[in-house]
Structure 1
Amino acid sequence: MKTTLTIISLALALVSCQQETVPVQTNTATTPVETVMMMNPSSFDATGQTLLYQGTFESAVHPTSGTVRVYEDKDKKRTLVFENFKTDAGPDLRIYLAEDKSVSNFIQVTNEVKNGNSSVAIPANANLQKQNYVLIWCKQFSVLFGAAQLK
Structure 2
Amino acid sequence: MARVRKLLGRPLGIGVLVVAVAVAGFGLYWFQPWKLWQDQTVEEALPAAQVTPGPAEEEQSTTPGAAEAEPSEAPSSPAGPQTLASGELISHEHATSGTVKLVRLDDGSHVVRLENLDTSNGPDLRVWLTDAPVKEGQAGWHVFDDGEYVSLGKLKGNKGSQNYAIPDNVDPSRYTSVSIWCDRFDVSFGAAELGRA
Q: In 1, are the aligned partners of 2:94 and 2:190 still within 8 Å (CA)?
A: yes
> Of Structure 1 and Structure 2, which has the larger fraction of its residues in strand?
1
Structure-2 residue corresponding to 1:30:
none
Runs of 4 or more consecutive aligned structure 1 residues displaced over 6 Å after TM superposition: none
Q: The residue matched to 2:174 in structure 1 has which SS? A: coil
% identical aligned pairs: 30
Q: The residue matched to 1:42 in structure 2 has which SS? A: coil
Matches within 5 A, 1:1-151: 16=31, 20-21=35-36, 22=38, 41-42=44-45, 44-45=47-48, 48-100=80-132, 101=134, 102-103=143-144, 104-114=147-157, 115-151=159-195
Q: In 1, are the aligned partners of 2:47 and 2:105 still within 8 Å (CA)?
A: no
Structure 1 residues 143 and 19, CA, compared in 2 at 3 Å: closer, same or farther? farther
TM-score by length of 2: 0.55
* Cα separation, 2, equivalents of 1:84 and 1:69: 11
Give 1:17 deviation, angstroms: 7.0
Structure 1 residues 43 and 131, CA, compared in 2 at 3 Å: closer, same or farther? closer
* Cα separation, 1, equivalents of 2:167 and 2:109: 9
Q: CA offsets per residue over residues 1-31 of structure 1, 9 Å max, x none? A: xxxxxxxxxxx9xxx476533479xxxxxxx
Larger radius of gyration: 2
* Cα separation, 1, equivalents of 2:39 and 2:148: 25
**1 or 2 for the larger relative contact order (CA 8 Å, sep ≥6)?**
1
Q: In 2, are the aligned partners of 1:87 and 1:145 still within 8 Å (CA)?
A: yes
How many residues matched? 123
Amino acid at match of 1:130: R
Structure-2 residue corresponding to 1:9:
none
* Cα separation, 2, equivalents of 1:55 and 1:125: 23
> Of Structure 1 and Structure 2, which has the larger fraction of its residues in helix?
2
Q: In 2, are the aligned partners of 1:95 and 1:113 still within 8 Å (CA)?
A: no
Q: In 2, are the aligned partners of 1:95 and 1:109 still within 8 Å (CA)?
A: yes
Structure 1 residues 70 and 43, CA, compared in 2 at 3 Å: closer, same or farther? closer
